[in-house]
Amino acid sequence: MSEAGTTTERQPVEVAVGVLVRREADGREGEFLLTSRPPGKVYADYWEFPGGKLESGESVEQALRRELQEELGITIGAAHPWRVELVDYPHARVRLHFCKVYDWVGELQMREGQRMAWQALPVQVQPVLPGTLPVLQWFAAERGFAGATHAG
């Protein structure tokens, strides 16, 4: 919003986001992976779900496969489209395409100097990127979790 209260018209940047979820022995969804934003990037050290921008001509799934290979060194199985969220940051407007991922091959490698943490609700790592907060609320609703979804 501008000072006058009107919406600033900015074309959104399309971003594919991977919500890697471990399955429990009984098949229920368990912990999910958060990674920190790499040094030198906007919001460095904030925690988020991994992913990145779609390149020209890429689908969300293609971008997600490429980004998770580049950032984490893994090859994902099926990407399950979950939710789409439009977020206005001071530096950019982004349309986040969240996909759940249950299967991948390879060992997780933090190739961009980021950190990783498997988390459950409430998330203990902080600070959490603003665009990640709605996802924690969606998990809470799906899992019947009541209370704060993150520390701090």
DSSP string, 9-20: --PPEEEEEEEE
d(CA 5, CA 148): 30
Do the domain assignments include residue 150?
no
Task: Please tell me the predicted confidence (pLDDT) of residue 4.
Answer: 43
Q: Which domain holds residue 74?
A: 13-141
Is 130 a member of any domain?
yes
Give, as one character, the DSSP assignment of residue 150. B
Q: Is residue 64 part of a domain?
A: yes
Residue type at 12?
P
Distance from the first to the final alpha carbon of the chain: 26
State residue 148's pLDDT score. 95
Judge whether 29 lies within some domain: yes
- Please tell me whether residue 123 adopts helix, strand or coil conformation: strand
Number of structural domains found in the chain: 1
In a domain, 3, yes or no: no
Is the pLDDT score of 106 beyond 70? yes
Token digits for 60?
Answer: 């969300």
For residue 2, being part of any structural domain is answered with no
* 107: CATH: 3.90.79.10
Question: 144 or 3: whose pLDDT is higher?
Answer: 144
Residue 1's pLDDT is 40
For residue 55, being part of any structural domain is answered with yes
User: What's the mean pLDDT in 116-132?
Assistant: 96
